[in-house]
Amino acid sequence: MCYGKFGDAIKNSAYMEFSPFNNVVKLCLQGMNMEETKQPEEALKLFLQAWNEATNHHEHFLAAYYVARQQKTASDRLTWLEKALIHALKLNDDTVKSALPNLYLKLAKCYEDLGDSEKSVGYAELAATLNEKPSDTGPFYHGTKADLKVGDLLTAGGNSNYQPELTMNHIYFTGLVNGAGLAAALAKGEGRERVYIIGPMGIFENDPNLTDKKFPGNPTRSYRSTAALKIVGEVKDWDRPSPEDLQRFRERLITGNGEIIN
């Protein structure tokens, strides 16, 4: 259950819910692990499997992007990057819009390597003209175990869930209700998991800890702000990960944490 116009916005949202538990995303993560352990042939097999198992534009975009990374020639990279772009452009979705500057730069480099300066410059200009400020209009969510009420403000200054000695300069939120639910499950505390609908009280930016890291762009629609977030409602139902998936995610967080950009 949700409240008022925010509930209608959730039900009518056309955004793709990016999930680390999606089968295609899992295959891409496995492929990335193969890349990190210097096994490019195995990585390519996993990325091609992801491409073959993809069932929608978002999954095809991700898989093609990673297949392109394993191509040995500029022409082959270009083929797969163009496939990624075709699927990305069919999605009017902020999970993919944020990846377009990086994708255009990769296309520009391919055309430069192939000696086509006109197309190279064209794609580089496309990347430069895209505004880095998020175009996402929400609704937005924050997951926690804190017991709060409508009208309360969430502010920066809390300790990190992943590096407890670190005081955070920003307050974080997401445009994905299930992503907020996952954050609530991972949050510290003994209270029940809560997902609040929030309104940013000031400007916000893409979370640099996630944007263009393992995945292109900001597919988790993760944002941060130095301004407060105002609670305007609460979501009562979302897709909860299985205990097994949640445990694997916790293990990945423990082994995969690097320096937090604060």
| Distance of alpha carbon 48 from alpha carbon 58, whole angstroms | 15
Q: Where are the domains of the chain?
A: 17-90, 99-132, 140-251
CB 196 within 8 A of CB 254: no
Give dist(CA 55, CA 24) in Å, integer: 9
What CATH code is assigned to 140-251?
A: 3.20.170.40
Kindly indicate the confidence band of residue 262, based on its pLDDT and cuts at 50, 70 and 90.
low
Q: What does the alpha-carbon distance between residue 4 and residue 108 come to, in Å, rounded to a whole number? A: 45
pLDDT tens column, 57-104: 999 999 999 999 999 999 999 999 999 999 999 987 877 888 999 999
Q: What is the pTM of this model?
A: 0.76
**pLDDT tens digits for 153-195?**
999 887 666 666 777 889 999 999 999 998 898 887 788 999 9
Tell me how far apart the alpha carbons of residues 26 and 30 are, in angstroms, rounded to a whole number: 6
**What is the pLDDT, as a whole number, of residue 11?**
39
**Distance from C-alpha of 20 to C-alpha of 24, rounded to nearest angstrom:** 9
* DSSP β-bridge partners for residue 234: 196
